A and B are shown apart, each in its own frame.
Chain A
Amino acid sequence: MADNEVESLKQALEGKYVEPGPGGDPIRNPKVLPTEKNIHALYAHAIPTTVAMQSAKIVVDRLIERQKAENDGKYPETIALVLWGNDNIKTYGESLAQFLWMIGVMPVADSFGRVIRVELVSLEELGRPRIDVVVKKL
Chain B
Amino acid sequence: MVVEVDEAVEQNYVRKHALEQAQILGVEVQEAATSYLYFLLWAWVGWVRPHSPNMYSMTKELKVNLILKFGSMFHKNLMFSMYQELLKHNYWFN
- Chain A residues close to B by CB (< 8 Å): 75, 77-78, 103-105, 118, 120, 123, 129-134, 136
Contacts and interface: CB of A to CB of B under 8 A. Distances in A.
A130 B43 contact: no
Contact of B13 (A118, A120, A132): A132
Interface residues of B, number: 14
Interface in B1-36: 1-2, 5, 7, 10-17
Nearest to A123: B11
29 contacts: A77-B16, A77-B17, A78-B13, A103-B2, A103-B14, A105-B2, A120-B1, A120-B2, A123-B7, A123-B11, A129-B10, A129-B11, A129-B12, A129-B13, A130-B2, A130-B7, A130-B11, A130-B12, A130-B13, A130-B14, A130-B15, A131-B13, A132-B13, A132-B14, A132-B16, A132-B17, A133-B14, A134-B39, A136-B43
A134 B14 CA distance: 10
Contacts of A130: 2, 7, 11-15
A133 B67 CA distance: 25
Interface centre among A118, A120, A129, A131 (most CB of B within 10 A): A129
